[in-house]
């Protein structure tokens, strides 16, 4: 591919910075490819390694999802099988460690990390100093900015605020929704494409005191699901996570 992989344009100091229009088009291109793999091909394809370095760019900076070395194929309507946990640190859905099943939902989680990576210009394993001087992980940093009412503070500084505010906010919030620690609360790739194309509004959802270690300490989906309050919306659920004393 003439323009190599996306990660060099996000993280290399010697490569020109992609503008927001290019990034948003790349995001939608990868989302479209994942929708095809999950729902529209004759088999269900679980990619298992979605990340910026596996997104290749053609001469016009159109995105192509590459590296299918870890992919798994299933017939539509069949159960996903337990397998070895494979992928890249920072993109692995939390349920993979518990169940060892790679699913379309675990791909959605990795895509959520990818969304935040592209919007923020940060690597998912990067430690970031928050406003209190504490080192926090990437997703926790984005969550903290949202709780403080300034989620746009997470946007890549190299963009110099030259982006469509509504699109940037959409990508950041959609990234968090796709990274939801409860798999059933993540959107499908079809729903994700509808949000990105503006054909459906992003559902209202709130995240309070989100603690991944606490969530992974639960046993069974019944316990996890008891912490989800759902009501009808454009994606069938409006998610409100209430932890601790809430």
- Give CA–CA dist 107/113, Å, rounded: 10
Q: Which domains does the chain have, with CATH numbers?
A: 7-202 (1.10.510.10)
Look at residue 133 in the predicted model and tell me its pLDDT. 67
- Give CA–CA dist 91/116, Å, rounded: 11
Look at residue 131 in the predicted model and tell me its pLDDT. 66
Look at residue 12 in the predicted model and tell me its pLDDT. 86
What are 103's two structure tokens? 């699913």
Instruction: Return the active site residues.
Output: 49
Q: Which residues contact 59 (CB under 8 A, 6 or more apart)?
A: 2, 3
Task: Please provide residue 241's backbone torsions phi and psi, each rounded to the nearest 5 degrees.
Answer: -95, 130
**Cα–Cα–Cα angle for 61, 42, 56, rounded to 5 degrees:** 15
Give the residues of the chain that fall short of pLDDT 70. Answer: 82, 130-133, 206-246
Look at residue 245 in the predicted model and tell me its pLDDT. 32
Distance set, CA 97 to CA 90, 118, 161, 194 (Å):
13, 25, 37, 30
What are 126's two structure tokens? 């990067």
- Strands 127-129 and 72-74, by their bridges, are unpaired
pLDDT digits (tens, 9 = 90+) for 54-89: 999 999 999 999 988 888 888 887 877 767 777 788
């Amino acid at each position: 591919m003439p323009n190599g992989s996306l990660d060099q344009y996000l993280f290399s100091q010697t490569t020109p910075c992609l503008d927001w229009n290019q990034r948003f088009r790349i995001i939608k291109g990868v989302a479209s490819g994942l929708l095809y793999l999950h729902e529209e091909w004759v088999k269900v394809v679980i990619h298992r390694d979605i990340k910026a370095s596996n997104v290749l760019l053609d001469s016009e900076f159109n995105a192509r999802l590459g590296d299918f070395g870890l992919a798994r194929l299933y017939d539509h309507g069949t159960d996903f099988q337990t397998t070895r946990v494979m992928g890249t640190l920072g993109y692995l859905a939390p349920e993979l460690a518990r169940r060892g099943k790679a699913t379309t939902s675990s791909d959605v989680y990795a895509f959520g990390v990818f969304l935040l990576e592209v919007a923020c210009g940060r690597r998912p394993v990067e430690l970031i100093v928050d406003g209190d001087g504490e080192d926090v992980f990437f997703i926790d940093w984005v969550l903290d900015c949202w709780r403080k009412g300034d989620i746009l503070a997470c946007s890549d500084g190299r963009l110099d605020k030259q982006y469509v505010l509504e699109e940037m906010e959409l990508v950041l919030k959609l990234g968090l929704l796709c990274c939801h620690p409860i798999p059933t609360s993540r959107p499908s790739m079809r729903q994700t494409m509808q949000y990105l194309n503006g054909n459906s509004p992003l559902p209202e959802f709130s995240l309070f005191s989100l603690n991944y270690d606490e969530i992974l300490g639960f046993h069974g989906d019944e316990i996890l699901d008891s912490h989800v309050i759902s009501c009808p919306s454009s994606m069938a659920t409006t998610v409100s996570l209430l932890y601790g004393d809430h």
